[in-house]
Structure formats: structure tokens, C-alpha cells
Structure 1
């Protein structure tokens, strides 16, 4: 959804940059600096929203390849570091994907 918004803003800014509006109309032309600032503000806003949504999803466990370490021992407990790819499982003795 955010990617669609970004592409929409980018296409509007691109059409304005190509000079489709006449220079005789006052107040409709934007300078390149203004366009860059507007696009940077928009992208920063999108990045801040995406960062918050990723931080909220703390239950997402990253994927790990076969042979990589997938767990860590904390005394009698085992903590998961990553989720093994499809067809592999985390060996609780070696603490690696096999």
C-alpha cells in the first residue's frame, strides 16, 4: 500500500518536472529543489511508519539456512534465534538447522 502511494507521488512529481504545464501560469511551476524536498519528506514519513510497523511485530522470527545456528542454550532452556527453511528442522542437540 505504501509502495503504491510512493509510486503515485513519484509519477505526479515526474509529470510536473517534465514541463507539461506552461511557464506562463504563475504559481504552478515547482523548482527541482522544492520537488526534492517534498519527495524526501514523503519518503521519510513512509519510512517512519514502516519502521514502527516492523518494531511492533516482535514475534516475527528471521529465516536461517541449513547448517546455520538456529537456537541458543540458556541453562536448561533453549532460545530460538531463527526459523529453519521449509524442509529443515532445528536440531536441539547441535542447535543447528539440518
Structure 2
């Protein structure tokens, strides 16, 4: 009963604090409403070029993280087979996606 009361009081305090802080936000941090206005002092073309440069850099870094000891492991989806048993040893077939792991009993990504 005490924990329920504490949760209710905490939620009321957070909602009051949130409503008070909504009026304190500055208009500088909001995005412009018109599509032609510059965002953060940059035009749409400059933003697109910066985004493209960031994506190109991210692609080159992704290649280096996937390669380990000259062996490139592909990505497995959830439920796919990610390893193979060779007697007492387990050989990896692919890497599981982020947030999942290779189950050593079922040899699948979960």
C-alpha cells in the first residue's frame, strides 16, 4: 500500500513539474515551422551534405568493426542459426543483431 501511494505521489509531482517546465522552454530550441527557413543557421543543402558525410563515415567504420582477424561475419536475424557444434567446440557462423545473443544450447539468435 505504501509503494502504491509513493508511486502516485511521484507521478503527480512529475506531471506538475513537467507542466511548469513547458512554459519555460525557449523558442530558440524549437524547429522553424516553414520549410524554407534555415535550421541552426544552415540551409537544407548544407544539412544534406553534412548528413551524407556522416553516413559515409559511419559506413567505413562499420566495415572495420565487422572484420575480426580477417574473417568477416555476417549478421543473423532473430531465430536464425548462428553457430555450429564441432564436437566439444562451437564454431560461429554469424553475429547476432544488437540486443540479441547466440544461445549456446539451441545455437540460434535470441
| TM above 0.5 | no
User: Given the two structures, how large is their TM-score scaled by the length of structure 1?
Assistant: 0.41
Relative contact order higher in (CA < 8 Å, ≥ 6 apart): 1
